[in-house]
Structures are given as C-alpha cells and as structure tokens.
Amino acid sequence: MIPKHKSILIIGANFSGLTAALQLPKTCDVTVVDPSPNFEWIPGIHEILSGVKTPQGLRLDRADIIARAGHRFVQDLVTRIDARKRRVTLAGGDTLNFDAAIVAVGGIGNSYQIPGVDSHTWPFRTVADSQAIEQRMNTLQQKPAPLQVVVVGGGLSGIEALGELLRRYRHRPEISFAMVEASTQLMPGFPKTLDADLHMICQEHRVSFHTGESVARVTPQGVWLASGKRLPSALTIWAAGLAPPPLLREAKLIRSPHTWAAVHQTLQSRYAPSIFVVGDAAALPKPVSKQAFNAIDMGAVAAYNVTRWLADQSLKDFKPPATPLLLAFGDLQTYMIAGKTVLASKTLAGAKEGVYQLFMAQTAPQPGLQGVPSALRRRRKSWKELVVPGLLSLKDFRATSDCRPLKLL
C-alpha cells in the first residue's frame, strides 16, 4: 500500500517510461515528463524510408494515453535532476519535486567526436530523423546523375535502414550503397552467419561493405576512413551507436567513463535510492541488450518496485525476457535470432508486423470502436507490403548455414 501523499515522477515516456506509467495505479500521484507529444515506435522507423510506414502510423498521442491511465503529463524537457533534494528542473523553468523517480531517458546518437559527423551526417534515431532522410532521398533521386548513399553502422538500425533503401531503390541503377562497420562483421555480437547471409543477398545489388573500418572524418562530399579509403557520399546516414544523455552524468547517476547509469538488479540506482533507471539508460550488473522488449519489461518492474520502495517493502529483481530478436532486411529477408540460432524467412516479416500492430492497438489512446479508423490506417499498407508477400513465400523457411533450426510448431 503506497502512502497517497507520495509523488512519483517519470522522466521520459517512450517504451520503458510509458510502460511504467501504464502499470502504476490511478490512485498513485504520478507525473510524466517528456518533451515530445508522441510515443514513437522506434523499431519501425526504417520503414518510413521505403514508404511502407508513415510517420503518423508510428506515433501515438502521449498526453491521451497518460490521461487515460489517470496520470499527469507535462510536455517539457528535464534539464537537471537533483537526486539529493529529489527535485528536477524543466527547460520551461519550472521545478518538480518527487518522492521517487523513474528515469527512462534512453540514449542519444554517438558521434564519437569524429570531425564532420554532427554537421554532415543524418541521424537515425527518431521518426523525424527517418522522415528527413526520406525527403532528402526524394530530392536527390530526381537528378539523373549517379549517387551513393553511405550508412555508417552495421548493427540493427543500420542494417534495417539499408534493407528499406534497397526495397525502394535497388531497381535504380544510378543509386549505389556503401556500409561502414568498425567491427569485423555485420551485426556485431550476433551469430556470424547473419553477416554471411547479408553479404550473399547483397551480391546481386550495388552495395559495398567496409567492415573492420572506422570513420576518420565526414565532409559534404563523402566519408574518409581511417585506412585512407574515401567513399563518395551524397547522403551519409549515421547509425553508429548510442551514448548516454549528459543529464545522467550531471545528476551523478553515472560515475565512471564509458558506462550508463549503474543500477542494481532491482533497477534502483546504485547512487540514489529514490531513483530507478530503466531501458537503454540503465547499466545492469550483467548487461542486457538495448532493445525495446527489455525496456518494456524494465518499465513494468520499476513501476512495481517504486511503489514497494515507497511503502518500505522488499524489491524484486528484473529478469531479462527470453524474447527473440526480429531483424528485417527490407523485402529481401527477415531473421529471427534467439541466442545462437538464426532463422531466415520472408514470412517472418508478418510476425514483426504483428508485434507492432499488437503493441500499438494495446497502447492506443482510443479503445474500442473509436480506435478502429487509426488501427485500419496502420494496417492497410503494411498488410499489402509486409504480410501478404511473406505468406506467399511460406516455403522459404530456413536456418542460415551454421546454426540449428528453430523448432516450429
């Protein structure tokens, strides 16, 4: 039982923060702060590049969702967290006090202080970023001259961006692509078989891969690699990893270099007991991947623990869910990755789409019949582009080379 007069503040309301807000009962005094009016389905932003998704289809009205949960939404940016005084300062000038807080601010793009990255590359973190790239591509491709697009970062977001660009532009002989990845394989940290499969698929297309190469500088004309190679580039997409927002270090929630906000397995900060840190921003004793499914589960555990902590009760540990990762490579392939097992099939595009549709339908502010028009809008195009082609290729299920096939029901 939480004492009624205790206030809970949630900073950041996307996957982890919004889940925490939705889990906290209406009887709690909860305030949620986020500068953006919309929840964004970030794992789908690559599909804006090909036109399979619209920006509108990836957004939900945050104020409505939070109001429906019975809480207060403040659209503003937290500029300072004073953990000792349990107070935050907002960009608008106000301050908010809290008895306990959930910090769910995610990460920011990491430029690694490489010259030219901030001014000459296009970030790829939000719906607006993806929309800006799509519009730039529209302008560039109207000129008949050859053009190359460079994607820096061969992890999940870079690969998914490249896949959608190939879906849309691979039939245009004047457009070519280059991918730079500092690790010696694409999708570092995942089974090597993925790297081999992606290389094999791209043999037929105008894609050059530069793995084991790091970027030395970026200019408006192209990307210079540390090895001395120069890749001409009309548009450079920066998908090369995340860094913690400076706010976390300034609040002393991060105290060592090159780390995120250190938490116990209960998600309680190691340095400020009234603060729980969740999602991409958190550094657990045993690191977990920075994925939406982990962020969602952390949000639920933090909501439970924050009320227990306020009531002076014992906390429970966060246990990472054993959720497989779905990686889309445009209309060329979709992979399901569970540990060392990789399953490849275009049919899996439908499963990825199902995860998105289910989450959006469950989280959308208008329940029942009121929500039908926006749900139909979300489904119409993706059904045609993602689900039907997948069903037509049901026969192509296979495990990529050196791995065990998943057991299918």
Interface with ligand FAD by CB under 6 A: which residues?
A: 11-17, 33-36, 42-43, 45-46, 77-78, 104-106, 124-125, 156-157, 160, 245, 247, 279-281, 290-293, 295
What's the closest the beta carbon of residue 350 comes to ligand FAD, in angstroms?
A: 15
What's the closest the beta carbon of residue 368 comes to ligand FAD, in angstroms?
A: 26
| Closest residue to ligand FAD: CB criterion | 279
As a three-state string, the secondary structure of 169-195 is: HCCCCCEEEEEEECCCCCCCCCCHHHH
Which residue's CB is nearer to ligand FAD, number 215 or number 295? 295
Which residue's CB is nearer to ligand FAD, number 12 or number 390? 12
Which residue's CB is nearer to ligand FAD, number 295 or number 310? 295
Q: How many other C-beta atoms lie within 10 A of the C-beta of residue 193?
A: 21
Which residue's CB is nearer to ligand FAD, number 59 or number 229? 59
Which residue's CB is nearer to ligand FAD, number 32 or number 175? 32
What's the closest the beta carbon of residue 274 comes to ligand FAD, in angstroms?
A: 17
Report the side by side order of strands in the sheet with 333-338.
Answer: 325-329, 333-338, 341-344, 398-399
What's the closest the beta carbon of residue 293 comes to ligand FAD, in angstroms?
A: 5
Which residue's CB is nearer to ligand FAD, number 115 or number 324? 324
**Dist CA 67 CA 74 (whole Å):** 11
What's the closest the beta carbon of residue 294 comes to ligand FAD, in angstroms?
A: 7
Using a CB cutoff of 8 Å and minimum separation of 24, what contacts does 246-255 make? 247/78, 247/79, 247/80, 247/81, 247/105, 248/103, 248/105, 248/277, 248/281, 250/80, 250/81, 251/80, 251/81, 251/82, 251/83, 252/83, 253/81, 253/83, 253/103, 253/277
- What is the residue type of 303? A
Q: What angle do CA 48, 43, 409 make, to 5 degrees?
A: 115
Does residue 105 contact residue 248 with C-beta atoms inside 8 Å?
Answer: yes
Q: How many other C-beta atoms lie within 10 A of the C-beta of residue 366?
A: 16
What's the closest the beta carbon of residue 205 comes to ligand FAD, in angstroms?
A: 21
What's the closest the beta carbon of residue 112 comes to ligand FAD, in angstroms?
A: 17
Does residue 79 contact residue 247 with C-beta atoms inside 8 Å?
Answer: yes
Which residue's CB is nearer to ligand FAD, number 11 or number 202? 11
